[in-house]
C-alpha cells in the first residue's frame, strides 16, 4: 500500500505549484499512470480522498489517465502496444522491446481558480 | 478555468535522492544490490549464504528493511559485518531517503559491496529507485512459476532473477522452464540463476556473478 505516500507526494507538488503560481483553489489534479507502474487507481483515489478530507482541497477531483504500455522493437524498430504484458513485436514477433510508454507516474496539470 | 501545466514526476523527490545515493556509491566505488521478493522466498538466507562465501577482500555492509523486528539484522550481525536495520512500521517498501540516512552508519571507505534487503513485497518496491546498481528479484519454487506474469513491473525493472529452493522441485508443481519463459517474456534482459540455499546447488554461479560485478 504505497498509494498513500504517492497521494502525499501529489499534494506536496500541488502545494508548491499553487504557491508559485499564486492560485488559491484547486479544482482538479490530473495524473498519468503508466500501465507498468505498480499503482492501483482505485486505491490512489481512496487515499487522495482520505488525505484531502477537511482540507482546502476537499472539493478537488483527482483525474487518473492510464497510459497503455507501448514498446519499440529492437530488431525492426516497429512500435507495438503491449497487451497483457506480453512483450512481443506485432510486426516481426521479436521479443526484445524497449518501453517507450507505460512507466509514467506524473502530474500532468492542475485546474485551478 | 485556468490550467497550470505541471509535467512532473510524482516520485521526483525520491528519484533525486536516489541520484545522490548513486553518486555516493560511485564516489566510493561501491557495488550495490537491492534484493526484492515476496516474504519467505529466501532473501535473508541467500544473504547469509552469500556472506559466508565472500572472500576476505570483499568488505560487505548490509541494510535490512522490514515492517517490524530486527530479527534479520541479528542474523546478519553474526557475520561481524556492519548492518543497519530499517523498520518501516507498516511501510511496504524502502525509499531512497531511508537508504541515505542509513548510510551515515557506515564507514563507506571500507566497504565495496552494499546489499540492501528490501521489505518482502513484490509490488511497491518496483517504483522506488534507491540508487542501487542492480535489482535482484527472488522467486522460490513453492510460490508458483507464474509469479512474473502476476507481478510484471518488478520483473521488468530487475536485472537478475534468482529462483530459489530448487531442492523442492520434486514436491511442487513448479517448472523451471516455465518460470524462465514467463520471466523472459516480461524482461528479455534478465540474468537468471537457479539455486538452493539449503543444499548450496547453483550458488557457485551466483557468487561468480556477484564477485565479477564488485568494482576492483
**What pLDDT is attached to residue B51?**
97
Structure confidence at residue A1 (pLDDT): 65
Over residues A71-96, mean pLDDT: 94
C-alpha distance across the termini of chain A, in Å: 32
Would you say B36 and B156 are in contact if contact means Cβ atoms under 8 Å apart? no
> pLDDT exceeding 70 applies to what percent of chain A?
99
- Check whether A78 has a pLDDT greater than 90: yes
| In the predicted structure, residue A8 carries a pLDDT above the cut 80 | yes
Record: contact A17-B6, CB cut-off 8 A: yes
Identify the residue among B5, B10, B14 best suited for mutation to test binding to A, counting A beta carbons within 10 A and taking the highest: B10
> Which has the higher per-residue pLDDT, B124 or B53?
B53
At B22 the pLDDT is: 98
Quote the pLDDT of residue B140.
98
Tell me if B114 sits within 8 A of B14, measured CB to CB: no
pLDDT of B216 = 59
As a whole number, the mean pLDDT across chain A is 95
Q: Chains A, B: CB contacts under 8 A, how many?
A: 90
Which stretch of DSSP H or E encloses residue B140?
Answer: strand B134-140
* A1: nearest CA partner in chain B: B92
Q: Which DSSP helix (H) or strand (E) runs through A83?
A: none
Q: What is the pLDDT, as a whole number, of residue B137?
A: 98
Mutation for B interface: A2, A33, A84, most B CBs within 10 A: A2
Following CA atoms B172, B177, B178, B183 in sequence, which dihedral angle do they give, to the nearest 10 degrees? 120
Contact B5, A109 (CB under 8 A): yes
Contact between chains at B185 and A21 (C-beta distance less than 8 A): no
Query: pLDDT tens-digit profile of B69-86?
Result: 999 999 999 999 999 999
Residue A95 forms contact with B (CB below 8 Å) = yes
Residue B36 and residue B46 in contact, taking contact as beta carbons nearer than 8 Å:
no
Beta-bridge partners for A110: A29, B4
Nearest partner of B43 among B72, B69, B71, judged by Cα:
B72
Beta-carbon separation of A38 and B9 below 8 A: no
Q: Is B67 on the interface with A (CB under 8 A)?
A: no
Q: Is pLDDT of B208 > 80?
A: yes
A107 touches chain B (CB under 8 A): yes
Is this complex's ipTM strictly greater than 0.85? yes
Give the mean model confidence (pLDDT) for residues A73-98: 94
> What pLDDT score was predicted for residue B90?
83
Q: How far off is chain A from B213, nearest CA to CA, in Å?
A: 24
Q: What is the pLDDT of residue A70?
A: 97
How much is the pLDDT for A67?
A: 96
- In this model, does residue A64 exceed pLDDT 80? yes
Q: Does B152 touch chain A (CB under 8 A)?
A: yes
Which position has the higher pLDDT, B91 or B87? Answer: B87
**Cell numbers describing residue B115:** 546489499
Mean pLDDT for B118-123 is 94
Proportion of chain B above pLDDT 90, given as a percent: 95
B88 close to A (CB below 8 A): no
Residue A10, min C-alpha distance to chain B (Å): 6
- The reported pLDDT for the residue numbered B200 is 98
pLDDT of residue A2: 85
| pLDDT per residue as tens digits for the range B153-183 | 999 999 999 999 999 999 999 999 999 999 9
Average pLDDT over residues B200-216: 93
Write down the pLDDT at residue B132: 98
Q: What is the mean predicted confidence (pLDDT) over B8-23?
A: 95
Is the Cβ of A67 closer than 8 Å to some Cβ of chain B? no
Amino acid at each position: 500500500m504505497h498509494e498513500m505516500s504517492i497521494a502525499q507526494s501529489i499534494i506536496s507538488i500541488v502545494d508548491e505549484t499553487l504557491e508559485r503560481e499564486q492560485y488559491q483553489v484547486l479544482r482538479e489534479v490530473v495524473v498519468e499512470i503508466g500501465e507498468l507502474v505498480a499503482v492501483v487507481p482505485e486505491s490512489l483515489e481512496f487515499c487522495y480522498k482520505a488525505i484531502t478530507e477537511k482540507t482546502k482541497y476537499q472539493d478537488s477531483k483527482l483525474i487518473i489517465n492510464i497510459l497503455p504500455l507501448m514498446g519499440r522493437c529492437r530488431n525492426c524498430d516497429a512500435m507495438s502496444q503491449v497487451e497483457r504484458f506480453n512483450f512481443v513485436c506485432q510486426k516481426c514477433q521479436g521479443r526484445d522491446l524497449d518501453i517507450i510508454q507505460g512507466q509514467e507516474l506524473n502530474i500532468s496539470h492542475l485546474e485551478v481558480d | 478555468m485556468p490550467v497550470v501545466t505541471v509535467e512532473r514526476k510524482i516520485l521526483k523527490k525520491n528519484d533525486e535522492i536516489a541520484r545522490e545515493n548513486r553518486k555516493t556509491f560511485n564516489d566510493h566505488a561501491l557495488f550495490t544490490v537491492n534484493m526484492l521478493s515476496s516474504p519467505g522466498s529466501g532473501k535473508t538466507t541467500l544473504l547469509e549464504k552469500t556472506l559466508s562465501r565472500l572472500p576476505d577482500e570483499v568488505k560487505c555492509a548490509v541494510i535490512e528493511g522490514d515492517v517490524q523486528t530486527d530479527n534479520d539484522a541479528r542474523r546478519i550481525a553474526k557475520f561481524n559485518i556492519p548492518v543497519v536495520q530499517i523498520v518501516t512500521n507498516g511501510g511496504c517498501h524502502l525509499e531512497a531517503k531511508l537508504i541515505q540516512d542509513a548510510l551515515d552508519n557506515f564507514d563507506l571507505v571500507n566497504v565495496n559491496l552494499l546489499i540492501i534487503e528490501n521489505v518482502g513485497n513484490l509490488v511497491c518496491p518496483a517504483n522506488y529507485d534507491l540508487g542501487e546498481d542492480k535489482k535482484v528479484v527472488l522467486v522460490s519454487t513453492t510460490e508458483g512459476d507464474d509469479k512474473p506474469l502476476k507481478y510484471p513491473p518488478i520483473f521488468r525493472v530487475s536485472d537478475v532473477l534468482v529462483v530459489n529452493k530448487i531442492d523442492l522441485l520434486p514436491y511442487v508443481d513448479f517448472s523451471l522452464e516455465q518460470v524462465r519463459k514467463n520471466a523472459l517474456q516480461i524482461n528479455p534482459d534478465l540474468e537468471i540463476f537457479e539455486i538452493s540455499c539449503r543444499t548450496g546447488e547453483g550458488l557457485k554461479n551466483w557468487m561468480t556473478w556477484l564477485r565479477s560485478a564488485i568494482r576492483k
